[in-house]
């Protein structure tokens, strides 16, 4: 067992740190947060700098961590333009990969993943958006809610019901690539988010949208399975976002405490020291679970229980760290970058499987494993 990363990953982390130092400032983060503006320039620069490359998943994991450590809203925006790409990578045809993936991989285009609907996100099998075959197309009607990159994406991987299967809700769902410029496709930007306000979020409305048949991903009716496979991958990246946020909060705590000891020239209260130690310990534990889950995943031996543990634990660590960091730093924290980290961190417990859903997955898997052994 070796807890050290190989040199190339250490270098990837360093490179991401360099980029963050050069390109992400507190003023910039504050501005994009206030204006709720997507940082397209930053996204492009991240590609040019060569730090966004999902074909190298370990590098990506540590890059996400480091960029979110600098600022969650900007860090996520700079790395999320391929959101959903793994569905095409794993289950799409060569033609789909050629047509759609190449351009998101080089940063030219942006994509999104549209699963959640106004009526529900946790209950993936309950989605209502429907497609019916007509004249060589699938005609889609329905709505998707809270979709990241919603008004800026060129296309979406979308989960759509193509068949009602009595008593089996997760059957009859299919995944499609839906171009965002198709007739009948409209988008409403959602503003007024609590945090990650630099990220773009929208509601998508589909009114008789003709999706070409060749845009069906893999087999019809297998969409639920494809999306669950995707979540098992993306949740590791969300855990990395959360670790980055928690680490960023801890950085600010240490900066504050260092300043206090230097300026006040006095010993720190033990209560404060204990809190800082708790934050650091939870971050370390989150890293261990996340890297272990990623290690299985990136060797094509995914362990969904571990991935859900990583996502849930790291997310709760992010909100814990941001809240405790504000408590420690008090007024100066609330007036500085930490208040944004506090707002941003809460999304971690909600998107890509709420903490409650992750916990259900963990215990169901544990019980299944137990039953198999017994």
Ligand X SMILES: Cc1cc2nc3c(=O)[nH]c(=O)nc-3n(C[C@H](O)[C@H](O)[C@H](O)COP(=O)(O)OP(=O)(O)OC[C@H]3O[C@@H](n4cnc5c(N)ncnc54)[C@H](O)[C@@H]3O)c2cc1C
Interacting residue ranges for other proteins, rule: CB under 8 A: 116, 119-123, 126, 145-146, 190, 192-195, 256, 267, 269-272, 319, 323, 326-335, 339, 342-343, 346-347, 349-351, 354-356
Q: Which does 28 bind (CB under 5 to 8 A by kind): other proteins, ligand X, none?
A: none
Pairwise CA distance, residues 37 & 28, whole Å: 11
Position with the least CB separation from ligand X: 121
Considering the candidates 23, 36, 203, 352, report the single residue annotated as catalytic. Answer: 352
Q: How many CB atoms lie within 10 A of CB 160?
A: 27
Pairwise CA distance, residues 318 & 333, whole Å: 16
Pairwise CA distance, residues 4 & 129, whole Å: 46
Q: Which does 147 bind (CB under 5 to 8 A by kind): other proteins, ligand X, none?
A: ligand X
Nearer to other proteins among residue 89 and residue 257 (C-beta): 257
Fill in the per-residue mask, 116 to 145: x = in contact with ligand X (CB under 6 A), - = not in contact: x---xxxx----------------------
CB of 203 to ligand X, least distance (A): 11
Do 306 and 289 touch, CB atoms closer than 8 A?
yes
Q: How far is CA 129 from CA 122, 140, 191, 225, in A?
A: 15, 7, 23, 17
Cα dihedral 112, 170, 98, 183 in deg (nearest 10): -60
Pairwise CA distance, residues 104 & 81, whole Å: 7
Q: Please identify which residue in the block is written with the tokens 């620069």.
A: 45
Q: How far is CA 328 from CA 173, 305, 321, 331, 347, in A?
A: 48, 34, 10, 9, 22
Determine whether 352 is an active site residue. Answer: yes
Nearer to other proteins among residue 23 and residue 344 (C-beta): 344
Pairwise CA distance, residues 322 & 318, whole Å: 6
What are the two backbone dihedrals, phi and then psi, of residue 369, each rounded to the nearest 5 degrees?
Answer: -60, -40
Nearer to ligand X among residue 108 and residue 123 (C-beta): 123
CB of 238 to ligand X, least distance (A): 10
Pairwise CA distance, residues 316 & 329, whole Å: 20
28-36, 205-213, 286-294, 344-352 -> range binding ligand X (CB under 6 A): 344-352
Q: Contact between 32 and ligand X (CB under 6 A)?
A: no
Q: Contact between 231 and ligand X (CB under 6 A)?
A: no
Nearer to ligand X among residue 127 and residue 275 (C-beta): 127
**Residues carrying an active site annotation:** 352
Binding site for ligand X (CB under 6 A): 112-116, 120-123, 146-148, 193, 196, 201, 347, 350-352, 354, 356-357
């Amino acid at each position: 067992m070796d807890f050290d990363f190989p040199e190339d990953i250490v270098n990837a982390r360093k490179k991401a740190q360099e980029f963050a130092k050069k390109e992400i400032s507190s003023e910039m983060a504050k501005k994009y947060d206030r204006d709720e503006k997507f940082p397209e320039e930053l996204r492009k620069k991240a590609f040019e700098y060569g730090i966004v490359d999902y074909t190298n998943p370990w590098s990506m994991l540590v890059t996400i961590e480091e960029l979110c450590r600098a600022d969650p809203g900007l860090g996520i925006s700079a790395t999320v333009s391929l959101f959903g790409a793994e569905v095409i990578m794993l289950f799409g045809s060569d033609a789909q990969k050629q047509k759609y993936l190449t351009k998101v991989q080089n940063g030219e285009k942006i994509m999104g993943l549209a699963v959640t609907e106004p009526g529900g996100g946790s209950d993936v099998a309950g989605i209502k958006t429907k497609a019916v075959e007509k004249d060589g197309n699938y005609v889609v009607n329905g709505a998707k809610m809270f979709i990241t990159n919603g008004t800026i994406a060129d296309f979406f991987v979308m989960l759509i019901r193509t068949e009602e299967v009595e008593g089996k809700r997760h059957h009859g769902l299919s995944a499609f690539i839906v171009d965002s410029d198709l007739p009948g496709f409209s988008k409403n930007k959602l503003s007024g988010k609590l945090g990650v306000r630099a990220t773009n979020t929208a509601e998508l409305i589909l009114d008789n949208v003709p999706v070409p048949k060749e845009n069906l991903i893999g087999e019809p009716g297998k969409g639920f399975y494809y999306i669950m496979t995707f979540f098992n991958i993306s949740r590791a990246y969300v855990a990395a976002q959360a670790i980055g946020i928690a680490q960023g909060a801890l950085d600010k705590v240490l900066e504050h405490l260092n300043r206090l000891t230097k300026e006040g020239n006095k010993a720190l209260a033990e209560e404060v020291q204990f809190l800082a130690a708790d934050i650091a310990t939870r971050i370390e534990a989150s890293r261990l679970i996340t890297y272990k889950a990623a290690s299985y995943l990136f060797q094509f031996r995914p362990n969904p229980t571990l991935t859900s543990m990583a996502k849930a634990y790291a997310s709760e660590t992010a909100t814990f760290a941001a809240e405790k960091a504000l408590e420690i730093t008090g007024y100066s924290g609330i007036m500085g970058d930490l208040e944004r980290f506090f707002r941003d961190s809460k999304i971690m417990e909600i998107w890509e499987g709420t903490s409650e859903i992750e916990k259900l997955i963990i215990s169901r898997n544990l019980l299944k494993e137990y039953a198999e052994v017994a």
